[in-house]
Structure 1
Amino acid sequence: MAYDPAAEVVDLCRDLIRIDTSNYGSDDGPGERKAAELVASLLEEVGIGTRILESEPGRASVVARWGGESTGSTGEARTDALLLHGHLDVVPAAAEDWQVHPFSGEVQDGYVWGRGAVDMKDFDAMLLSVVRARQRAGRAPERPVVLCFTADEEAGGHLGAEVLVRDHPEELEGCTEAVGEVGGFSTTVRGRRLYLIEAAEKGMAWMRLTARGRAGHGSMINPDNAVSRLTAAVARIGAHEWPVRLTPAMRTLLAAVADLAGTEATPENAEQLVEEFGGAARMLGAVIRNTTNPTMLSAGYKVNVVPTEATAYVDGRFLPGYEDEFFATLAELVGEGIEIDYVSNQRPWEMPYEGDLVDAMGRSLLAEDPDALVAPYLMSGGTDAKHFTKLGMRSYGFTPLRLPDDLDFTALFHGVDERVPVDALGFGARVMDRFLDEVAGPAKG
């Protein structure tokens, strides 16, 4: 049979989607164990040994070490391992809101539909399809590669990547570079396809705000009302207009867009340049500034009782290099008499957009799509890279997908009717195969 790294990618994506791994951020979900067992069996079937690690019952990650046994062209075995990582959990989905059942993995209108189709069982399927094809063809990499499929990424990775980094660092021994999700997908600007490589992520501050006051009868004057104090703070936070701040990755990206538009990129026209991305502007508009979005409120138990306590939750995201500005401004907005606790507080990161790994990503994409452009960007959300960078790994997001010009791709992340084009899965597998040829092949002398 002819070598085809994309041969299984669609079926594998469908199989993974059909396993419900919804992560509710609590103990209520099904966990990742069944998906982890499927991944482990697929790797074991082609002779790659695996370990399933559970942080809590049912919350499972899979780790495998692949290749690295050949001495290559230099006569010495490589020790600089490459980490390829994807997560197995997905956010929940309400079936009644979807055109197809979110865990059916149905193929319809040229797309694979289902929760996780773009976040991120598509990448898991690409990686498994490529690895299995290469292993069967005797093309295991000379560079050591660690394959990692994690639990709990959708709730901050605390039961997945964080546990691996903290409690099982030996599984990641030698890893100097890491490649994961949310990069390598295409968007179209002024008729030109542009592939975005994730080279940075905002920091994440999921906050619980608590105001306490004096309880009393709702009919009486109460100047120490916890609800009033809290909601005033929430209103200030939600209405605050954060200033534009351009990080290195976004300066590079906006310079490429400005060139297409026949202008120059500046902080003053950054928002106009972001609008060139169409639907993707909702994500890219969030990475030229810090953001704070109130998301939850809770207080009281009866309409005529002023409660002692009121709480709110805020999703805060801050740019690399602007942490001090973010937290100082936040303290001013919150004001007096309100406690701030962090449900999750994770640092941002940014990598130089240069070097062999970055060059290999660009060449692999352009080999399949020669007329395109490739540029870095800053990711608005968080990925497991936040944990892996703690071990000093140089990390990037690279899940290559060539997408239709009219697909509002960023709306599909955590959205209704999540789906990925069938031909984009094949494209991604071919690009990943080329990428592995370059970065995990014979060591350079």
Structure 2
Amino acid sequence: MAEHIDATALDEAVRFTSDLIRIDTTNRGQGEGVERPAAEYVAERLAEAGLDPVLLEKAPGRTNVVARVSGTDPGADALLVHGHLDVVPADPAEWSVHPFSGEIADGVVWGRGAVDMKDSDAMVLAVVRAWARAGVRPRRDIVLAFTADEEDTAQFGSGYLVASRPELFDGCTEAIGESGAFTFHPGDGRRFYPVAAGERGTAWLTLTATGRAGHGSKINRTNAVTRLAAAVNRIGEHTWPVRLSPTVRAALTELATLYDLPLPDLDAPDPEALAAGVDDLLARLGPAAALLAPTVRNSANPTMLDAGYKVNVIPGSATAHVDGRVVPGGDEEFTTTLDRLTGPDVAWDYLHHEIPLQAPVDAPVFAVMREALLHFDPDAHVIPYCMSGGTDAKQFSRLGVTGYGFMPLRLPEGFDYQAMFHGVDERVPVDALHFGTRVLDRALRAL
């Protein structure tokens, strides 16, 4: 397969990343965010490539862009390629460079969104523009979606698009989005490219304890704060049982083979034996276990507390928030466990609830992504993995679209990709953008 990525495309991938970073699209939650300037920038770049982008908003400023690239096979299913335009907040005082500078220095592009995920948006733009210059078309229709509000609830972004404009995604059966196909260095000379074929579900919770309000000097056995604190402690200290999705099973099997380690009985009927076997394998895998450890279990982390208004007043209620994540197939266990851990004196409800996802790792689309990565890095290993968090793929799954995380970056050893997400001094190497643009071009034309 001939490559159609020229020097212009490589330069554009870098320049577009920098330009998009300089457009502050901070999403502070609760509906506070403005993606429109970035959406207009993307739409202009797509229109220059001869496409017909559509800008869509649920609320002023919360703008999405959708465009379709026509394929050569009108009978083929369409492919969705999606990326979000919003970013999480960044405090300039904590950064080495201003987080919205988009500075390019020493072979690195700096700023909020450099890996999450304006770099990916830029690479996609660079690829489709290179196709337009070369007169190249993909085999199947490719729908491009650049969304708002992914960093919060997606109600202004992919959630709105799926509910209000599903016809824009007609024919789409599979999708690629964040955040897989990055280089993971386990420290032993190997290079892994984890391609996401699943996501844990989102279960953000509100806990509410009620009790008898009163004077802080009086004994109070129905203290709402005490009740809440006890429930929060139980949740925080709980050890969840191992629950393996097909993706995680496949990843454990591949890594055990690569490291020549015995594979435990992944179908062990005894939960304690299963947990012991999996935890032992993870320990033997060393740094490589970081790809899997967050996704072999459900999790629930208390993150926020709110109670009272004066030190000598016992409040009648107290609230907490918990960030819960649920493995594919783990929903029932999650709810029954939370009922038990909160107890009779604390109520809980979902603040935000999204389903877990599972995609087949033996599908042709996964094989194509593997081939594209190995074509440009033949000594590496491509493995499936399940994302510990969530993406817009959850929303698009409601249209029957199977989602994968595939936004390639070849990263140098010592570059902590995961720490860049929502972290200080977020940045991406220029070489990584060049690699990702080439891999995306090859994969998208073969899918």
Determine if the TM-score, normalized by the shorter chain, exceeds 0.5.
yes
> Could you tell me which amino acid in structure 2 is paired with residue 118 of structure 1?
V
How do residues 380-391 of structure 1 correspond to structure 2 at under 5 angstroms?
Answer: 380-391=388-399
CA distance in 2, matches of 1:430, 1:410: 22
Helix, strand or coil at the partner of 1:185: coil
* 1:443 matched residue in structure 2: none
* 2:121 matched residue in structure 1: 124
CA distance in 2, matches of 1:424, 1:291: 32
Instruction: Give the drift of 1:2.
Output: 8.0
How do residues 197-236 of structure 1 correspond to structure 2 at under 5 angstroms?
Answer: 197-236=195-234
Preserved contact between residue 172 and residue 401 of structure 2 (Cα < 8 Å): yes
* 2:236 matched residue in structure 1: 238
> Could you tell me which amino acid in structure 2 is paired with residue 232 of structure 1?
A
How do residues 219-298 of structure 1 correspond to structure 2 at under 5 angstroms?
Answer: 219-266=217-264, 267=274, 268-274=276-282, 281=289, 284-298=292-306
* 2:50 matched residue in structure 1: 47
> Could you tell me which amino acid in structure 2 is paired with residue 351 of structure 1?
A
Please list the CA deviations of residues 107-135 of structure 1 after superposition, one character each: whole Å capped at 9, or x if unmatched. 23322111111111111011000011111
Preserved contact between residue 280 and residue 410 of structure 1 (Cα < 8 Å): no
> Could you tell me which amino acid in structure 2 is paired with residue 345 of structure 1?
H
Instruction: Give the drift of 1:269.
Output: 4.4
> Could you tell me which amino acid in structure 1 is paired with residue 410 of structure 2?
R
* 2:171 matched residue in structure 1: 174
Instruction: Give the drift of 1:142.
Output: 3.9
CA distance in 2, matches of 1:197, 1:2: 22
* Unmatched tracts of structure 1, length 5 or more: 440-445
Preserved contact between residue 245 and residue 328 of structure 2 (Cα < 8 Å): yes
Instruction: Give the drift of 1:265.
Output: 2.9
Helix, strand or coil at the partner of 1:143: coil
Preserved contact between residue 211 and residue 338 of structure 1 (Cα < 8 Å): yes
Helix, strand or coil at the partner of 2:10: coil
Preserved contact between residue 226 and residue 307 of structure 1 (Cα < 8 Å): yes
* 1:15 matched residue in structure 2: 19
CA distance in 2, matches of 1:362, 1:430: 14
Instruction: Give the drift of 1:427.
Output: 0.2
CA distance in 1, matches of 2:100, 2:55: 23
Preserved contact between residue 78 and residue 142 of structure 1 (Cα < 8 Å): no
> Could you tell me which amino acid in structure 1 is paired with residue 297 of structure 2?
R
* 1:321 matched residue in structure 2: 329
58-67 or 182-191: bigger deviation: 182-191
CA distance in 1, matches of 2:12, 2:401: 30
Preserved contact between residue 24 and residue 92 of structure 1 (Cα < 8 Å): yes
CA distance in 1, matches of 2:286, 2:429: 19
Instruction: Give the drift of 1:19.
Output: 0.7
* 1:304 matched residue in structure 2: 312
Distance verdict in 2 for CA 1:270–1:122, change over 3 Å: farther
Q: Choose from 372, 385, 394 the match for 1:377.
A: 385
Helix, strand or coil at the partner of 1:313: strand
Instruction: Give the drift of 1:436.
Output: 1.6
> Could you tell me which amino acid in structure 1 is paired with residue 339 of structure 2?
A
- TM-score of the aligned structures, taking structure 2 as reference length: 0.93
Preserved contact between residue 200 and residue 390 of structure 2 (Cα < 8 Å): yes
Please list the CA deviations of residues 183-221 of structure 1 after superposition, one character each: whole Å capped at 9, or x if unmatched. 111212332111101000001100011111111111111
* 2:269 matched residue in structure 1: none
CA distance in 2, matches of 1:276, 1:183: 24
CA distance in 2, matches of 1:238, 1:85: 35
Instruction: Give the drift of 1:278.
Output: 6.4
CA distance in 2, matches of 1:26, 1:405: 38
Q: Choose from 63, 77, 80 the match for 1:80.
A: 77
CA distance in 2, matches of 1:192, 1:176: 33
Helix, strand or coil at the partner of 2:161: helix
Distance verdict in 2 for CA 1:281–1:33, change over 3 Å: farther
CA distance in 2, matches of 1:96, 1:272: 42
Paired residues in the alignment total 432
> Could you tell me which amino acid in structure 1 is paired with residue 93 of structure 2?
E
Helix, strand or coil at the partner of 2:184: strand
Please list the CA deviations of residues 327-378 of structure 1 after superposition, one character each: whole Å capped at 9, or x if unmatched. 1111100111222121111110101102221111011001100111111001
CA distance in 2, matches of 1:378, 1:219: 51
225-234 or 19-28: bigger deviation: 19-28
CA distance in 2, matches of 1:175, 1:237: 40
CA distance in 2, matches of 1:332, 1:287: 22
> Could you tell me which amino acid in structure 1 is paired with residue 47 of structure 2?
E
1:398 aligns with 2:406: yes
Instruction: Give the drift of 1:155.
Output: 0.5
1:32 aligns with 2:35: yes
Instruction: Give the drift of 1:281.
Output: 5.0
> Could you tell me which amino acid in structure 1 is paired with residue 348 of structure 2?
I
Instruction: Give the drift of 1:283.
Output: 5.8
Helix, strand or coil at the partner of 1:166: helix
1:95 aligns with 2:92: yes
* 2:66 matched residue in structure 1: 63
Helix, strand or coil at the partner of 2:81: strand
Distance verdict in 2 for CA 1:51–1:249, change over 3 Å: same
CA distance in 2, matches of 1:272, 1:39: 47
Q: Superposition RMSD on alpha carbons, in Å?
A: 1.7
* 1:442 matched residue in structure 2: none
Preserved contact between residue 183 and residue 197 of structure 1 (Cα < 8 Å): yes
Name the % identity.
54
Distance verdict in 2 for CA 1:279–1:327, change over 3 Å: same
Distance verdict in 2 for CA 1:125–1:272, change over 3 Å: farther
CA distance in 1, matches of 2:382, 2:219: 62
* 2:271 matched residue in structure 1: none
